[in-house]
C-alpha cells in the first residue's frame, strides 16, 4: 500500500495527507490521518499494520478497536 500510494502521488508516504489517501472523502482530517497511521507509521512511532518489525505491528483486534473508536467520532452522515 505504501509503495502504491507513493507511486500514485509521486511523494514519500510522510508527505501524503490522510485526506488524499482517503480519496478526498469527507472524513474529518484527524480521522483520515489516524487511519493512515494504522496502515503505516514511518519510523515506527505508532504501531501499524504494515510495520517492518513484528513488535511494531498492530494485531487485527487492536486495529478493529481503534477503527471502532474512530467511528464513534465520525459525523452520523459518514457512517
Residue 26 lies in a domain: yes
Q: For the chain, how far is it from start to end, CA to CA, in angstroms?
A: 24
Number of domains forming the structure of the chain: 1
**Per-residue confidence band for 77, with pLDDT thresholds at 50, 70 and 90:** low
Residue 79 lies in a domain: no
Question: Distance (Å, rounded) from C-alpha 54 to C-alpha 29?
Answer: 28
Question: Distance (Å, rounded) from C-alpha 4 to C-alpha 24?
Answer: 17
pLDDT of 1 over the 90 cut: no
Q: Does the global pTM surpass 0.75? A: no
**Which is more confident, 55 or 77?**
55
Residue 21 lies in a domain: yes
What pLDDT was estimated at residue 48?
86
Question: Distance (Å, rounded) from C-alpha 27 to C-alpha 23?
Answer: 10
Structural domain boundaries, residue 19: 2-74
pLDDT of 76 over the 70 cut: no
Amino acid at each position: 500500500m505504501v509503495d502504491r500510494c507513493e507511486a500514485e502521488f509521486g511523494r514519500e508516504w510522510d508527505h501524503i495527507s490522510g485526506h488524499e489517501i482517503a480519496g478526498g472523502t469527507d472524513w474529518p482530517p484527524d480521522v483520515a490521518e489516524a487511519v493512515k497511521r494504522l496502515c503505516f507509521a514511518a519510523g515506527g512511532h505508532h504501531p501499524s499494520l504494515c510495520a517492518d518489525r513484528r513488535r511494531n505491528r498492530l494485531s487485527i483486534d487492536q486495529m478493529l478497536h481503534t477503527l471502532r473508536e474512530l467511528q464513534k467520532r465520525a459525523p452520523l452522515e459518514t457512517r
